[in-house]
Chain A
């Protein structure tokens, strides 16, 4: 009998399903190791000189070489390997979820029979356009489409996907590396900070929320998302993992919590799936919801555009152009300090930089840096972090 993988509501894999997951991961690794370097050479040795010959100057950004690059059959091959991979993973994982839907439904019901944490859904909540108009990272149905009246399919699909896509790079089946990194950042920059009320924004299935909740076991933890099936699954998942988290279906741009409700507000890989305007609203909402001396902390994916070489910029652009993550490339150019100060935070109280991803939340300043890799690479295993204190930073009594 195969060993149970992960928590009690985690989808399980048959032999063949696991083999297909292993194939996807291995094929992606092969692509990264064998094709990426050649595609990068194509950019630097052939396309850049060609653009210079044609226009009289070297391309300063990936946008200036995109047309020429995408005419190259080898680059088209790189694109196809990266692009088709994504669609096929969802197809394969979706079939696995559908195969075991009844068992998962039973597990979800069992875990939420007498829950410690609340789940409050709002079927009338409008799904924002940056979620409803397309399916993020090409996940069919995205975060919000229900396939039954009490559906959790999107959450199960996302959880299993994360354990495949990121495998050991983000904390194994807990997939909580971002949450651990966020906690490490808090312990590094706000060492005596002990929040009593925490809000995690865009929690999806609670990957990072659970890490944050575990780091502050005496705190009351709330988590919001716009996707009902994500919340139903996340609620069951948190219960299965022994956490007490209160989930509610809300939009981080405008919540129903009163002013000054929270000591700590967090998000992990939320912002890049919103929009420029939504991000401004979310930061303003953070400022409203924090009590004076409270802290907001956001962990994000894309490195700063100015720190990336041309090929790496193109790789980031891929997420926007092909992977249904339209705000990803733009976010790499956003001035987080300005958005924070426009939202009411003092620029002097804002911290931005890269944080080395950690599996357990050790607080070391050596893990924090503000400059990118000198070769313009994405620093593998690092996240971009933005944190800010509202008003004067004070410890809680």
Chain B
């Protein structure tokens, strides 16, 4: 049985020090996004590597086939979902770093509002 979840906002980010390392918060955000993006690229490269090796082992498609590949509707929908998750991980860094405190509190209150009206 799936249990009701709570405290999701609380476990979304760490409580405590949020220092600014570079000359300002915006530069910190940019640096963070670049580093997050680096992770995305490295993982993608590993996945491609797995894909190509598995395919080659079975006598399957090669680079030229990939160059000419056209995604169908289902593939496009899948890619769209993946993109949103990627943007959340990468661009979310900037969002979390630069969102003003007053709006963070509003987000927390929105959660409370949802809880009490939907209870």
Contact = CB atoms under 8 A, between A and B. Distances in A.
Contacts of B39: 20, 23-24, 27, 88, 92
A138 B96 CA distance: 15
Nearest to B6: A147
Interface string A120-147: 0000000000000111001111100111
Interface stretch (B8-16, B100-108, B109-117): B8-16
Given A88-B36, A134-B16, A138-B16, A148 B43 contact: no
A309 interface: no
Nearest to B16: A134
Interface in B7-38: 7-8, 10-17, 19, 21-23, 28, 31-32, 35-36, 38
Interface string A283-323: 00000000000000000000000000000000000000110
Given A322-B19, A324-B17, A94 B2 contact: no
Given A80-B21, A83-B21, A135-B14, A102 B46 contact: no
Contacts of B2: 102
A149 B1 CA distance: 12
A148 B6 contact: yes
Nearest to A139: B14
A35 B31 CA distance: 16
Nearest to A148: B3
B14 A147 contact: no
A23 B43 contact: yes
A153 B42 CA distance: 27
B76 interface: no
Interface string B58-102: 000000000000000000000000000000010001000000000
A84 B17 contact: no
A213 B19 CA distance: 41
Contacts of B19: 83, 321-322
Nearest to B4: A148
A321 B18 CA distance: 10
Contacts of A80: 21-22, 28, 31-32, 35
B11 A140 contact: yes
Tell me the interface secondary structure of chain A in the complex.
helix
A22 B45 CA distance: 12
Interface residues of B, number: 33
A192 interface: no
Interface in A88-113: 88, 90-92, 94, 102, 105
Nearest to A81: B35
- Size range of the chain A interface in the assembly: 35 or more
Contacts of A330: none
Given A80-B35, A140-B10, A19 B3 contact: no
Contacts of A148: 3-6
Closest 10 CB pairs of A and B: A134-B16, A141-B11, A148-B3, A19-B46, A135-B14, A138-B14, A324-B16, A19-B43, A23-B42, A135-B15
Interface of B: 2-8, 10-17, 19, 21-23, 28, 31-32, 35-36, 38-39, 42-43, 46-47, 50, 89, 93
18 contacts: A23-B39, A23-B43, A79-B21, A80-B31, A80-B32, A81-B35, A84-B31, A84-B93, A138-B14, A140-B12, A140-B13, A141-B7, A141-B10, A142-B15, A145-B11, A147-B8, A322-B17, A324-B17
Interface of A: 15-16, 19-20, 22-24, 26-27, 73, 76-77, 79-81, 83-85, 87-88, 90-92, 94, 102, 105, 133-135, 138-142, 145-150, 153, 321-322, 324
